[in-house]
Chains A and B, each alone.
Chain A
Amino acid sequence: MELVSFDESYLTRLKNDDPQTVEHFVAYFGELLLIKLRARRLQPADILDARQETFARVFAALRVEGKIRQAASLGPYVNSICNNVLQESFRAGKRAESFGDDPPDVVDKSIDILDDLTKRQLAKLVREVLATLPSKESDILKAVFLEETDRDAVCCMFDVDREYLRVLVHRAKERFRGAYLKKHPEPNQSVTEKKKV
């Protein structure tokens, strides 16, 4: 995985529907949108709808001259569109109507961030990280990984505080990051200007 910078040429290619650029854009921001939407504990169908609607509106805006002027504002614009979609959806209490002229036909098949194969491979990395930790810390992290486990309950059961949880997650993340960055490839690496991590 590499850092991605969106420059003006990227924005131009995106506006011109360059297939590689569009595919990269959808993959990159699709992942961020999924993370954002999952943080709101939405139903999977609602997550997919919101993500699709967000992309539809963003691509519609890209076709409007002057609507998105700077590449640097691309990310925050995607985020703000998603916020609008969510607000409209909550107000209406139903899925938003889709609109927009001929959005690019890029089908996002997965709601998980990781496909099953990648998940299994990364689970192995997680185990390697956990194996380097004391058993108590390993068990605490496993409890944290289970999203349905209340964090306060985890603190209570292990007699730790929230700060301790944050430190544990941070340390595990840093250890995992090194191994993950080597093994998780970035899609369409030639599309954008990149900086090696």
Chain B
Amino acid sequence: MDHQEALRLNATEKYFLGELQGDLREAFEEHYFGCSECALDVRVTAAMMEAGRHVALADRPSVAPVVVPVRPAQAPAARPSWFAWFLRPAFTVPAMAAMLLFIGYQNLAQLPKFFKAGSAKIEYVRTVTGDSTSRKSGAAKKRISIGAHDPLYLSLDLDPNEAANYYVTIHSGNSNGPVIVSLDIPRSDDHNTLTIRLAEGTLTSGDYTVTVLGYSGSAFTGTGNQVDSESFALEIRR
């Protein structure tokens, strides 16, 4: 790689964004070790990133997970066993963890807004490690691996026309398994993409199923039309 190519590729930016891999990364490293201009560019960017991290960490409390009160699910008459899971002590901690659900919407610093409801097909499930491949629901179970201190992001595309409101639940195991996390999404005109950030420790390694129910009315009563469901296997790396 020569200097002009490094400039043409925006190599420095790609390097620090982790977009240079393999031979291209090695070629850029060989270049900046020998090119004083690119070495300066790399050093300045590294200093900015390191100082920027200091700033971002210092500002983190202002973008900390917002406690989103989850409307208590009323036990549906036909499924008393489902509601009973919430009362079990084993799920007290996960239930509290559910209070820490953070709805990421465009700007991490903004208070969460309610999302425009729509077709809540789960288009993809992503992880912070970059181990993310999108797939359509219905395919084989997706495997996700995240570090012990990484949050888990779940992204849902909501199509405005399918339901008035949505109720998202994450079950341990299949969709009949105990609810670990639940999130009520009332109607909104704002946006049709919902990103749920689950703080580290919310889930443990295991199999999970995300289900999205659509419902109308002012409050979720425990029943709704299943819009989509997707399973994934989560590995927490230690």
A contacts, CB < 8 Å to B: 1-5, 29, 31-32, 35-36, 39, 72-76, 78-80, 83, 112-114, 119-120, 122-123, 125-127, 130, 135-136, 139, 141-153, 156-159, 162, 165-166, 169-170, 172-173, 176-177, 180-181, 184, 195, 197
Contact = CB atoms under 8 A, between A and B. Distances in A.
Contacts, number: 174
Interface string B172-187: 0000000000000000
Contacts of B107: 135-136, 139, 158
Given A156-B195, A159-B106, A149 B51 contact: no
B233 to A, nearest CB: 18
B159 interface: no
**Binding site of A, secondary structure by majority: helix, strand, loop or mixed?**
helix
A112 B17 CA distance: 19
A170 B29 contact: no
A123 B16 contact: no
B140 interface: no
B193 to A, nearest CB: 7
Contact of A79 (B33, B43, B127, B153): B33
Contacts of B18: 39, 151
A162 B49 CA distance: 17
**Binding site of B, secondary structure by majority: helix, strand, loop or mixed?**
helix
A159 B108 CA distance: 12
Contacts of A136: 106-107
A80 B126 CA distance: 36
B43 A39 contact: no
Most A C-beta atoms less than 10 A away, residue of B14, B49, B54:
B49
B44 A173 contact: yes
The range of chain B's interface size is 35 or more
A80 B109 contact: no
Interface string B132-158: 100000000000000101100101000
A151 B130 contact: yes
B58 A39 contact: no
A71 to B, nearest CB: 10
Given A153-B128, A157-B105, 15 more contacts: A1-B44, A4-B39, A32-B33, A32-B43, A35-B46, A79-B34, A112-B50, A123-B52, A136-B106, A151-B130, A153-B153, A159-B193, A173-B41, A173-B48, A176-B48
B17 A162 contact: yes
Nearest to A169: B13
Contacts of A151: 17-19, 130
